[in-house]
Amino acid sequence: MDRGVRLNVLKKTAARLAADSWADIGLTLRNFEYETAGISDWEDYYEYVVMALEQGTDSQLLELHRHFFPQDSATELPTEPEAGRWRAGAFRLFISHTSEHRARARGLREWLGGWGVDGFVAHDTIEPTQEWREEIETALRTCHALCALLTPDFVRSRWCDQEVGFAVARSILVVPVKLEEDPYGFIGKYQAINFRSGESVRTVAGAVFDALAKSDLTASAMAPSIVHRYEHSHSFENTRQAFALLQALPRSAWTQAMMDAVERAPESNTQVGHANLPGGRSVPEAAQDLLQQVRGEPAVPALTADDDIPF
């Protein structure tokens, strides 16, 4: 969605939703699959609603906007990613799917896009044009990993089978997502992610993200995306999950830009700044210790009641 259009839609929708009670705001957001963890920490209705809506996808925002303002003209989302272009600095994920399930693929792409993963959604038609075939081949040659949405018609699609074969031949990671079809052939060796009936796309996107972050084949390339997810976390739980992934990163994967982003996250995002680990320790404090380790700096011991404090 065009940035200006998104901003206008977001402001109008936020103003309408902020007119409701806290209970109704939470109910509405949950029904449209927005995260509401931490809602009790906020005092200003409008500020909270804006924060919550900013974390959602274009599809979620437009659906909620149409719920409140059905008389407004519909704003159409682009049906394909820009041909031949990956987003600079993002992890590159090829999403293989049949044309009948393109809506699921787009939803997955949008959620992952908010966490710094650029998804290429291959098919909007059963028979892609020659020009689009070339774009698909380029994406297959340059992606970091492939995610296969395994539906009953996937195995019958000659295009999907070739895409998976291309990825296997390149020895890149394949992440199967099971939608009524088990992994087969060369991808049978990979652990599948189950997309259960009624499960949200956000939950599946989180599982795909974790698989990419934890694999030895993709962990280093995923490092900037993990930092992005931490910096732009939409809930305390998401902050804890992202921090756990940061802890698992090898020191060689860190850059100065990534360290700077981790340091500024608590000030720019309350979902990071006020988050605590299960034992009660604050996430920002633990992140500072992690950055010291990455830089190779000695940890500074905390003062105790028995320490002599000079005057």
Residue 246 lies in a domain: yes
Question: Does one domain contain both 57 and 14?
Answer: yes
Q: Which of 188, 214, 240 is where one domain is finished? A: 214
Question: Does one domain contain both 56 and 121?
Answer: no
Residue 193 lies in a domain: yes
Q: Which of 167, 197, 214 is where one domain is finished? A: 214
Cα distance between residue 282 and residue 68, in whole Å: 38
Domain limits at 279?
219-295
Question: Does one domain contain both 56 and 39?
Answer: yes
Residue 75 lies in a domain: no
Question: Does one domain contain both 208 and 240?
Answer: no
Question: Does one domain contain both 236 and 260?
Answer: yes
Report for 14-18, 121-125, 156-160, 279-283: range of highest mean pLDDT? 279-283
In what helix (H) or strand (E) does residue 194 lie, and over which residues does it extend? strand 193-194
Average pLDDT over residues 10-28: 90
Question: Does one domain contain both 97 and 174?
Answer: yes
Question: Does one domain contain both 156 and 250?
Answer: no
Cα distance between residue 185 and residue 5, in whole Å: 45
Cα distance between residue 199 and residue 195, in whole Å: 7
pLDDT bin (cut points 50, 70, 90) of residue 222 is: very high
pTM, two decimal places? 0.67
Residue 308 lies in a domain: no
Residue 303 lies in a domain: no
Question: Does one domain contain both 176 and 245?
Answer: no
Contact status, residue 89 vs residue 68, Cβ threshold 8 Å: no
Pairing of strands 173-178, 91-96: unpaired
pLDDT bin (cut points 50, 70, 90) of residue 124 is: low
Quote the number of domains for the chain. 3
